[in-house]
């Protein structure tokens, strides 16, 4: 059966519950039904990790109705005034992956893609006992790319990995629909990424992104990012790697979190509730003399980075690259 994809709505406007609801209620009164796309579609209630995703079958001027409760999270009672919005969800992410796989398999009647996926699943099962003790510390899905050896050290196998909140962030083979090898003058560059302060010159070079002094970053597609712990990480040329975890308290106002990448002139920054309550991840090259080269970056939920691992010699090695077709689909949805 073809996976159902539910459309989003620009800027994820937030409404509120106008009355108390119980865990079994299927009609959910909202302050502004225009904040939600046409039915059927998804909505999230709450503003933290205890939230609930619902699927609504219809909507009126004042309510979402025919609701399936607890699509993600647990169906529970909510009080009037709780925020509710059409935010990007883990279900959207999983469904998009499934749809891309279905499209691949539809163009592959010989079944090569299905056979590869089956083999990948078997490999995952074989490694299951090896990293089961670590699964509770990560928020990824089975079949992803970070495992752990008998000593608890991370290494690249089909295992557990957190989704990247950034899109098109593996610069060894980025989506670049404009087709240019160099961008100047500020504004959009490769898909999803823009030049900001200082208008750095941005180039694709030797499996990395090179940019001159200034800020280069990505406005996040997720407006309603929840409070909690996040980790940002980046691998620069020369094997220079950094990861930094930070916590966003519930009800937090605008804030910035940043960390310098050792051995470079680079700084990575996450700006929370940046302009008009959006969010921005960006990299800064602080040097007039040196162009910075970045190989990959990641922003993920939780206190553990899953972008890269160290090999036996202590060198930082990226985990398996993301699915290029999925990144292309995400860029098509979220980039100009």
Q: What is the pLDDT of residue 1?
A: 58
How many whole angstroms separate alpha carbon 167 and alpha carbon 103? Answer: 20
Least confident of 82-86, 100-104, 184-188, 214-218: 100-104
Q: What is the pLDDT of residue 105?
A: 66
Q: Looking at per-residue confidence, does 137 or 1 come out higher?
A: 1
Q: Looking at per-residue confidence, does 106 or 55 come out higher?
A: 55
pLDDT band at 322 (very low <50, low <70, confident <90, very high): confident
Q: What is the pLDDT of residue 142?
A: 39
Answer yes or no: pTM beyond 0.95. no
Residue 267: closest CA among 239, 234, 310, 238: 234
Residue 79: closest CA among 16, 138, 133, 24: 16
Q: What is the pLDDT of residue 241?
A: 95
Instruction: Give the residue-averaged pLDDT of 99-127.
Output: 55
Residue 306: closest CA among 236, 238, 257, 233: 233
Count Cβ atoms below 10 Å from residue 16 Cβ, excluding itself: 16
In degrees, rounded to 5, the angle at the alpha carbon of residue 218 between the alpha carbons of residues 217 and 220 is 150
DSSP state of 197: T
For the chain, give the number of residues.
336
CB-based contact 267:292 (threshold 8 Å): no
Is it true that the peptide bond before 40 is cis, omega within 30 degrees of 0? yes
Least confident of 89-98, 132-141, 225-234: 132-141
CB-based contact 216:195 (threshold 8 Å): yes
Count Cβ atoms below 10 Å from residue 32 Cβ, excluding itself: 14
């Amino acid at each position: 059966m073809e996976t159902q994809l539910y459309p989003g709505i620009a800027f994820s406007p937030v409404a509120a519950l106008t009355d108390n609801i119980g865990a079994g209620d299927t009609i959910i009164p909202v302050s502004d039904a225009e904040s939600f796309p046409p039915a059927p579609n998804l909505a999230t209630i709450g503003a933290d990790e205890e939230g609930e995703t619902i699927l609504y079958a219809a909507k009126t001027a004042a309510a979402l109705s025919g609701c399936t409760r607890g699509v993600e999270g647990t169906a529970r009672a909510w009080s009037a005034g709780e925020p509710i919005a059409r935010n990007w969800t883990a279900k959207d992410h999983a469904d998009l992956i499934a749809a891309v796989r279905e499209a691949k398999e539809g163009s592959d009647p010989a079944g090569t893609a299905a056979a590869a996926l089956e083999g990948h699943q078997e490999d995952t099962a074989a490694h299951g006992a090896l990293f089961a003790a670590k699964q509770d510390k990560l928020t990824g899905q089975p079949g992803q790319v970070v495992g752990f050896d008998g000593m608890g050290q991370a290494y690249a196998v089909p295992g557990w990995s957190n989704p990247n909140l950034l899109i098109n962030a593996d610069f060894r083979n980025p989506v670049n629909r404009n087709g240019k090898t160099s961008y100047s003058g500020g504004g959009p560059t490769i898909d999803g990424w823009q030049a900001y302060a200082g208008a750095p010159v941005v180039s694709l070079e030797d499996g990395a992104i090179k940019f001159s002094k200034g800020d280069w970053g990505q406005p996040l597609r997720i407006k309603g990012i929840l409070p909690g712990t996040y980790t940002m990480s980046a691998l620069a040329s020369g094997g220079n790697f950094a990861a930094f975890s930070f916590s966003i308290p519930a009800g937090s106002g605008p804030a910035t979190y940043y960390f310098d990448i050792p051995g470079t002139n680079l700084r990575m920054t996450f700006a929370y509730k940046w302009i008009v309550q959006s969010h921005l991840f960006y990299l800064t090259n602080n040097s007039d003399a040196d162009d910075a080269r970045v190989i990959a970056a990641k922003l993920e939920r939780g206190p553990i980075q899953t972008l890269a691992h160290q090999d036996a010699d202590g060198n930082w090695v990226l985990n398996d690259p993301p699915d290029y077709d999925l990144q292309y689909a995400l860029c098509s949805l979220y980039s100009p």
